[in-house]
């Protein structure tokens, strides 16, 4: 299995460009246990990545450093394993590209795009950023943070392994919710190191979740061992099956680790996908967990 090729192991950083180090992880490995068939997914969506430490040298040795953002569809066969991506991006550090920074950057971005598209068998949109001083768009202004609006000190949290049985319908018939939590925590599938994050949920339909129970459920993921994308799809599937919504969107914003953060988004319809977060050419405003 390719998932653990580098994770949890001591690996030397490559000193020269090394595309062969990239690892693709088939999505079906996790989807099967949640009855998610690649040819009949209840969602569309994207995986948005921010790599904060991309750097290379020009021909005359000038370092060029910045943030790489890239986005690709979740309906492709595979995801890129994050440690292999970290090693791959670091392989550019001492490699020389172009006589000028602009020329070198064009070569590097073209190279990364081709390598990722070959690996993932899908279109990859990417961009490079050296500053974000401008006012950046934010997708989640209307979302209420559960731990801020609920009396959380009165809730008993007793389940810390995923407990979908906690989910129940709200007694009041609210037809639409936009909620969030910054209490998302899961563990790496291979190393079991903790991953911290935020979840943003939009749900519209006849049945909506009891918010107290929803928060208890989201906290119950605390000891689950999955990749970020898998956690997102697991939560989405539980909500989809339980509440049978007309529309559903889930964005999981994870804290960067190893200089990279991963932000998977799953949605029932394209028009509810967060535009700024999923724009491969532009940055959006950083969230708390980034």
State whether 60 and 166 are in the same domain.
no
Task: Name the most confidently modeled range: 130-134, 215-219, 221-225.
Answer: 215-219
Is 238 part of any domain?
A: yes
State whether 166 and 262 are in the same domain.
yes
State whether 106 and 153 are in the same domain.
no
Tell which of 95, 129, 163 closes a domain: 129
Is 6 part of any domain?
A: no
C-alpha 72/C-alpha 229 separation (Å) is 12
State whether 99 and 163 are in the same domain.
no
Give the per-residue pLDDT at 188: 84
Give the per-residue pLDDT at 7: 47
**Which are the contacts of 103, defined by CB distance < 8 A and separation ≥ 6?**
58, 97
Q: Are 225 and 22 in contact (CB under 8 A)?
A: no
State whether 186 and 245 are in the same domain.
yes
Tell which of 103, 129, 155 closes a domain: 129
Catalytic residue among 47, 74, 139, 188: 188
State whether 233 and 182 are in the same domain.
yes
Number of domains in the chain: 2
Q: 35-61: b or e for each residue (b if 16 or more CB lie within 10 Å)?
A: ebeeeebebebbbbbbbbbbbbbbeee
Q: Is 191 left (phi over 0), alpha (psi -120 to 50) or beta?
A: alpha
195 is catalytic: yes
Alpha carbon of 85 to those of 70, 78, 172, 220: distances in Å? 12, 14, 46, 29
State whether 64 and 27 are in the same domain.
yes
Only one residue has tokens 């001591």, namely 10
State whether 74 and 150 are in the same domain.
no
Question: Domain residues for 56?
Answer: 19-129
Per-residue pLDDT tens over the stretch 95-105:
999 999 999 99
Per-residue pLDDT tens over the stretch 141-176:
999 999 999 999 999 999 999 999 999 999 887 799
State whether 184 and 124 are in the same domain.
no
State whether 245 and 158 are in the same domain.
yes
Is 248 part of any domain?
A: yes
Q: Which two tokens stand for residue 119?
A: 């690996």
State whether 156 and 268 are in the same domain.
yes
State whether 26 and 122 are in the same domain.
yes
Catalytic residue among 47, 139, 195, 261: 195
Query: The domain spanning residue 68 has which CATH number?
Result: 3.30.1130.10
């Amino acid at each position: 299995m390719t998932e653990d090729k580098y994770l949890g192991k001591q690996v030397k950083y490559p000193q020269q460009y090394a595309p062969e180090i990239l690892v693709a992880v088939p999505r079906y490995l996790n989807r099967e246990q949640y009855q998610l068939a690649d040819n009949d997914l209840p969602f569309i969506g994207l995986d948005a990545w921010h790599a904060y430490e991309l750097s290379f040298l020009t021909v005359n040795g000038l370092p060029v450093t910045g943030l790489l953002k890239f986005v690709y569809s979740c309906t492709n066969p595979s995801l890129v394993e994050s440690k292999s991506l970290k090693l791959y991006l670091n392989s550019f550090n001492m490699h020389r590209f172009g006589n000028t920074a602009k020329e070198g950057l064009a070569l590097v971005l073209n190279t990364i795009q081709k390598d990722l598209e070959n690996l993932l068998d899908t279109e990859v949109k990417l961009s490079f950023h050296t500053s974000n001083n401008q006012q950046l768009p934010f997708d989640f202004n209307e979302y209420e943070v559960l731990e801020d609006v609920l009396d959380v000190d009165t809730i008993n949290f007793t389940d810390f392994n995923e407990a979908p049985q906690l989910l129940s319908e709200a007694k009041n018939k609210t037809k639409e919710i936009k909620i969030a939590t910054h209490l998302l925590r899961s563990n790496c599938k291979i190393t079991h190191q903790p991953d911290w994050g935020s979840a943003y949920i939009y749900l519209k339909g006849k049945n909506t979740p009891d918010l107290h129970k929803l928060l208890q459920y989201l906290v119950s993921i605390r000891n689950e061992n999955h990749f970020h994308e898998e956690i997102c799809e697991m939560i989405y599937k539980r909500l989809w099956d339980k509440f049978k919504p007309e529309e559903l969107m889930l964005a999981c914003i994870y804290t960067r680790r190893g200089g990279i953060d991963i932000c998977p988004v799953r949605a029932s319809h394209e028009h509810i996908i967060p535009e700024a977060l999923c724009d491969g050419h532009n940055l959006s405003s950083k969230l708390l967990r980034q």
